[in-house]
Amino acid sequence: MLTELQKNFFSKLKISPKENVQFEDLHKILLQMGYLLPYENIDIMEGSIQEFSRENIEEKLLLKNRGGLCYEINSLLYYFLCDCGFKVYRIAGTLYNPKKRKWNLDDGHALIVLQYKNENYIIDAGFASYLPLQPVPFHGDSVTSVTGEYRVRKQNTEKGTHVFEMKKGGNGETSHFFDSDLTDTWSIGYAFYLDAINEKKVNAIQNMVIEHPESPVNKENIICKLIEYGHIALTKQSFTETVHGKKSKKEITEKQYHQILKDKFNIF
C-alpha cells in the first residue's frame, strides 16, 4: 500500500507508481528529480519561510510548482526512500569553496546515506548543478552523469571523516555553480561525518542558510535544474545553459527572468 507521499512523488516525477522500488530504480528516480525539481532559493529571497516538516516539504515540492534547497530536496527523497523500505538516514556536510580555498558554513548541506548489500552510498539530489544521478559508493569507484564525475573517499579533514569529490567527466561532462566550473582534476565538493541528523537539525540548517551572513544562498535568486544534455541556471541578472559540456551565458531583464522562470523551470 503506497503512502500519500509516495503517490504524490511518483505523480510529480511522471513515473508509474510501484510498490516494490528496487535499488536499480534509483537512477531513473534521481534523473526525474533533476528534471522536475529545480534547486532554488526563492522562498528565502522573498522572506516566505515555513518551519521545516515532512508535511510542508511534501506540499511545497510535490503539490506546488516549486523546487527547493538541499535540505528540502534530499529530505523529500529521504521520506520517499523510507516509505519504500530502504535503509537510509540523513547526514550533514560542509561545502568547500575551491575559488576561495575555504570551507563554507559548518553542516550547511544535508544529504542521504543509503545502506544496501553491506555497502554505503551517498544519495544527493540537492547539490545544485552537481548531480551524480545515481548512488555514489563509499568504496571509491566513481560515477559519471551529464554534470560531471563523482566519487566518495574516506579522508579525515577538519570537517569530517569522508569527502565527496567531483571533476569533469571523461567526455567533457561538466557543470558549474556560483561561477565555479569543474576541472580535469578531482576537487572536494564537501566533507562529512556519518552521524545521523533529525528534523531539529534540519530546521537548524534551514535557519542558518537563511540568516548567516556567509550563507551562499541568501544573497540573490538562484535557480537551476537538469536538462537532457546538461543543465540550466538562472539568476535575476543572467541565464546560463550548459549543453554537452559547453556553457553559454546571457544577461537578462527582470521581465525575461520571470518568463524564463515559468517557461524553463515551470515555477509560477
pLDDT for 126-162, tens place per residue?
999 899 999 999 998 999 998 899 999 999 999 999 9
Please give the share of the chain, as a percent, with pLDDT higher than 90.
84
pLDDT at 171: 72
Strands (E), the chain: 39-40, 87-97, 102-103, 109-116, 119-123, 136-137, 143-145, 148-157, 160-167, 176-177, 180-181, 187-192, 223-227, 230-234, 238-243, 246-251
What pLDDT shows up at residue 30?
98
What pTM was estimated for this model as a whole? Answer: 0.96
Has residue 183 got a pLDDT over 80?
Answer: yes
State pLDDT tens for residues 190-226: 999 999 999 999 999 999 999 999 998 999 999 999 9
Closest CA to 216 of 66, 73, 69, 77: 69
Q: pLDDT for 220-247, tens place per residue? A: 999 999 999 889 999 999 999 988 878 8
Tell me the residue type at 203. Answer: N
Query: Using 50, 70 and 90 to split pLDDT, how confident is the model at 179?
Result: low
The pLDDT score that the predictor gives to residue 37 is 98
pLDDT band per the 50, 70, 90 thresholds, residue 178: low
Residue 96: the pLDDT is: 94
Q: Which domains does the chain have, with CATH numbers?
A: 4-218 (3.30.2140.20)
pLDDT of residue 140: 86
Per-residue pLDDT, 173: 73
